Chains A and B, each alone.
Chain A
Amino acid sequence: MTDAWRLWRLMVGAQVRAQMQYRTSLMIEASTGFAVTFLDFIAVLVLFQHIHALGTWSLPQVAFLYGLSGVGFALADLVIGHIEDLSELIRSGRFDVLLLRPVGTLLQVVASDLAIRRLGKMFQAAIVLGWAISQLDIAWSLTRVAMCFVAIGCAAAIFASIWIAGACIQFFALGAGEIANAFTYGGNFASQYPVSIYGPWVRRFVAYLVPIAFVAYFPALAILDRPDPLALPHWLRYASPIVAGAALGVAMAIWQVSVRHYRSTGS
């Protein structure tokens, strides 16, 4: 485990150094990322011009969901977002080169980049989260603060597992990678709003299949200490770490199976 961390740090470090050479380009991309994600939030603001609450959720509460999910998503994007380019790796034959090295392929793919430009998105989500917190009357304690950080970490882990699992589609259908977007970007979008407003089928999907509900909704219920309009079991609010761990486990298993398939069918 520590081996993997050390290797990740070294490989990513080299990449980041290379990226830093193009500082202006980086700044432009970070600012554009900031601006574009801001558009997303403007949509929320516009909606709330006409309504007082979405379901039973006020604007600051929705903003809290948005910020929590957004920071987690941007964090995952930073570390693993580039896995979307897997099709390029496969097409160019560079994935085979990864198989020649005495290190797992997933670690190598993850360690191949750290998209610094994503920090623009993270910053934007953090601002919204900060604003939401300032508007909400949260009973702050050390536990609650810890819960915020844990929630962000779990959100990132869940998104990372969706990214990994989604990328595996490319091992089976090389051009169909965009389907994964429905679950990564779609998942981010879906988690910005309270799950209680979705119909029953969507709710089941985002709770059990692709666990988006555990990205922001359940942790928010816990941190904001508010009633759940769906009246689901109380312990679910604290289940994010387990769900995140399980999601990562499942995603890594899917990766292993997919690579095995790739190694038997060739490129």
Chain B
Amino acid sequence: MTGRLAFELVRRGFRRHATYRAANFAAMVANTVFGLLIGAIMLAAIRSAGHPIAGYDAPRVLAYVWLAQAMIGPVAIFRQSDIAERIMTGDLATDLARPADFQSWWFCDDIGRASQQFLMRSVLQFAIGAAIVELYLPPAGWRWAAFFASLALAVMASFSMRFIMNLLVFFTVDGRGPLALHTFLIVGLSGMTVPIGFYPPWLATVLRALPWYAMVQGPIDVYLGLRGAGGTLALQLVWTIVLLALGRSILGVASRRLVVQGG
């Protein structure tokens, strides 16, 4: 995979998703409404408690809500079945016959997609949130830098997980199983519904070691300064590498099966 090809793929991924203007706009509206609602509920919870919960005061919990909503796009929480679709239509064989590396191809494509979602959706959504409610904003410049690095790693970690789950479709009869499981796991374990810090401490510790933590709550923790940035970034990197490697071996198994079955 040459640098030139990689750049082209990223650009194409970006462009492809940029054309869905109406859908992007609609998603933004939906996420903004959810941001307002979930924010209201979290605020009510903190007010009822009378004190911050697990280190989350009002500005921090609102930042959590709006960040989580803003990350839905780039981290692809709900929509991630491109590869699975190509498997189900039988196009996988043609894709594997290409001279470029399959996993790297989709990786670059995903970076393009995530960049588009980030620039044309997340930034706007978050800005709207910041304008409407009083959100916590990190004071130090390095924290912002660490956050963006963490965000990039979250995208990659999410990709590597999605890659595996999509490929698993190859081994099942009905494509819906692995994808449904993936959505369930990522919504449940990544901290999308409620901050992981709210869970009982033992459970929170377990969840923070899992790959899904790297996808949503991890970057948020870096942003809020609730946990060490270095440790989180390292965890994200490790999981990304591990999952990418796992993805490659599963891909190897699938390709060998394809060859045997004759595509």
The answer to whether A198 has its CB under 8 Å from any CB of chain B is: yes
- A175 with B180: CB separation less than 8 A: no
Listed stretches A42-50, A149-157, A251-259; interface member: A42-50
**B interface residues, how many (CB within 8 angstroms):** 37
Question: Are B44 and A49 in contact (CB-based, < 8 A)?
Answer: no
Among A36, A181, A190, the residue within 8 A (CB) of B187 is A36
B27: shortest Cβ distance to chain A, in Å?
Answer: 5
Q: Which residues of B contact A199 (CB under 8 A)?
A: 40
- The majority secondary structure among interface residues of chain B is helix
Residue of chain A at shortest CB distance from B38: A189
Residue pair A29, B176 in contact (C-beta under 8 Å): yes
Q: Which residue of chain A has the shortest Cβ distance to B27 in the bound complex?
A: A178
How close is A175's CB to chain B, nearest CB, in angstroms? Answer: 3
In the assembled complex, B49 has its CB within 8 A of some CB on chain A:
yes
Q: Are B30 and A178 in contact (CB under 8 A)?
A: yes
Contact, CB under 8 Å: A179 / B26? yes
Is B138 at the interface (CB under 8 A from chain A)?
Answer: no
Whether A182 is near chain B, meaning CB under 8 Å from some CB there, is yes
- Tell me if A53 is interfacial: C-beta within 8 Å of chain B: yes
The distance from the CB of B52 to the nearest CB of chain A, in whole angstroms, is 10
Q: How far is the CB of A131 from chain B (nearest CB, A)?
A: 19
Asked if B48 contacts A52 (CB within 8 A), the reply is yes
Name A155-202 residues within 8 Å CB distance of B: 173-179, 181-183, 186, 189-190, 193, 197-199, 202
Q: Is the CB of A47 within 8 A of B40?
A: no
Q: Which residues of B contact A55 (CB under 8 A)?
A: 44, 48
User: Does A51 sit at the interface, judged by CB under 8 A?
Assistant: yes
Q: Which residues of A contact B148 (CB under 8 A)?
A: none
In the complex, the answer to whether A186 meets B34 with C-beta atoms within 8 Å is yes
Roughly how many angstroms separate A181 CA and B174 CA in the complex, as a whole number?
27
CA A42 to CA B195, docked complex, whole Å: 12
Residue from A29, A52, A177, A186 with most neighbouring chain B CB atoms (10 Å): A186
Considering the complex, which residues of chain B in the window 25-61 have a beta carbon less than 8 Å from any beta carbon of chain A? 25-27, 29-30, 32-34, 36-38, 40-41, 44-45, 48-49, 53-54
* Residues of B with C-beta under 8 A to A36: 183-184, 187-188
User: Is the CB of A236 closer than 8 A to any CB of chain B?
Assistant: no
CB of B198 within 8 A of chain A? yes
Interface size range on A against B? 35 or more
Does A182 lie within 8 Å of B29, measured CB to CB?
yes
State whether B48 touches A54 (Cβ < 8 A): yes
Contact partners of B22 in chain A: CB under 8 A: 173-176
The answer, yes or no, to whether B200 is at the interface (CB within 8 Å) is: yes
Contact of A197 with B30 at beta-carbon distance under 8 Å, contacts A32-B184, A47-B198, A175-B23 already known: no
Q: Is the CB of A49 within 8 A of B30?
A: no
- How far does the alpha carbon of A198 sit from the alpha carbon of B183 in the complex, in Å? 29
Contact B21–A28 (Cβ < 8 Å): no
Does A225 sit within 8 A of B, measured CB to CB? no
State the Cβ distance, B124 to closest chain A Cβ, in Å. 15
In the assembled complex, the Cα of A176 lies from the Cα of B215 at a distance in Å of 27
A197 to B40, CA, bound (A): 7
Once A36-B183, A52-B48 are accepted as A-B contacts, the answer to whether A42 and B193 lie under 8 Å apart by CB is yes
Residues B179-194 near A (CB distance < 8 A): 180-181, 183-184, 187-188, 193-194
B20 contacts chain A at the CB level, 8 A cutoff: yes
B12 to chain A, nearest CB (A): 20
Whether B225 is near chain A, meaning CB under 8 Å from some CB there, is no
Contact partners of A182 in chain B: CB under 8 A: 29-30, 32-34
In the complex, per-residue mask of A10-48: 1 if CB is within 8 Å of any chain B CB, else 0: 000000000000001100110010011001101100110
Q: Which residues of B contact A190 (CB under 8 A)?
A: 37
Contacts A176-B22, A186-B30; A50 near B174 (Cβ below 8 A): no
The answer on a CB contact under 8 Å between B23 and A28 is no
Do A51 and B49 touch across chains, with their CB atoms under 8 A apart?
A: yes
Residues in chain B near residue A42, CB distance under 8 A: 188, 193-194
Query: Which residues of chain A are near B198, meaning CB under 8 Å?
Result: 46-47, 49-50
Let me know if B37 and A186 touch, CB within 8 A.
Answer: yes
Measured CA separation A181–B33 after assembly (Å): 10
CB-defined contacts of B41 to chain A, threshold 8 Å: 47, 54, 193, 197
- 19 A-B pairs with C-beta separation under 8 A: A24-B174, A28-B174, A28-B177, A29-B180, A42-B188, A46-B199, A49-B198, A52-B48, A54-B44, A173-B22, A173-B26, A175-B21, A175-B22, A179-B25, A179-B30, A182-B33, A186-B34, A186-B37, A202-B36
Given contacts A32-B180, A178-B29, A197-B41, 6 further A-B contacts (CB under 8 A): A39-B193, A173-B26, A175-B23, A176-B23, A179-B30, A193-B44
Q: Which 6 A-B pairs have the closest CB atoms?
A: A175-B22, A197-B44, A178-B26, A182-B33, A182-B30, A176-B26
